[in-house]
């Protein structure tokens, strides 16, 4: 596939781009707030407050929506149910790492790790992902990102 044959990133609907950007900003703010809590009260405590607050809010949303589609959880692959436990790892490592490395270094490492692990999952079609084999363009992009990561963190 040549560069011209690739779909342009700008072909993505604008509302989806905005939603993704809001998510990115929220992750950055959460990392900084968790780092503040981590320094003041500790990692476990900051994870508890983060998950407790989030759990309370989503619990209220589920009450308002009368459970939404929660009954369908039994059809979800078993490994997908580990998302909550992985969320604890995510939140804990964000708070711990940001408090010790700084916001930019921690977020850069986290994002680089997401790109690399996401590329592996896509390449092999693992865990229910669509198969998207790595090509020279994607490998080059990941290589440049890893170089950028090294430049930011060194």
Per residue of the chain (154 residues), give pLDDT as tens. Answer: 444 444 545 567 888 889 988 999 999 999 999 999 999 999 999 999 999 999 999 999 988 988 778 888 889 999 998 998 999 999 999 999 999 999 999 999 999 999 999 999 999 999 989 999 999 999 999 999 999 999 999 9
Q: Which residues contact 1 (CB under 8 A, 6 or more apart)?
A: 135
Angstrom distance (rounded) from CA 142 to CA 117: 11
* pLDDT of amino acid 85: 92
Model pLDDT, residue 2: 44
Give the pLDDT of residue 90: 93
Kindly report the number of other CB atoms within 10 A of residue 83's CB atom. Answer: 10
What per-residue confidence (pLDDT) applies to 4?
43
User: What local confidence, expressed as pLDDT, does residue 9 receive?
Assistant: 56
Do residues 37 and 46 make contact, with C-beta atoms less than 8 angstroms apart?
yes
């Amino acid at each position: 596939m040549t560069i011209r044959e690739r779909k342009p990133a700008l072909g993505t609907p604008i509302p989806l781009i905005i939603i993704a950007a809001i998510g990115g900003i929220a992750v950055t703010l959460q990392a900084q707030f968790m780092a503040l809590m981590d320094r003041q009260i500790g990692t476990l405590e900051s994870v508890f407050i983060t998950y407790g607050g989030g759990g309370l809010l989503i619990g209220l949303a589920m009450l308002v929506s009368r459970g939404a589609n929660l009954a369908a959880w039994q059809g979800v692959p078993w490994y997908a149910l580990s998302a909550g436990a992985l969320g604890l790892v995510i939140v804990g490592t964000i708070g711990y790492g940001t408090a010790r490395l700084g916001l930019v270094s921690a977020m850069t490492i986290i994002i680089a790790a997401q790109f690399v692990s996401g590329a592996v999952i896509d390449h092999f079609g693992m865990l229910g992902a669509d198969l998207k084999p790595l090509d020279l363009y994607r490998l080059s992009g990941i290589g440049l990102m890893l170089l950028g990561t090294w430049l930011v963190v060194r």
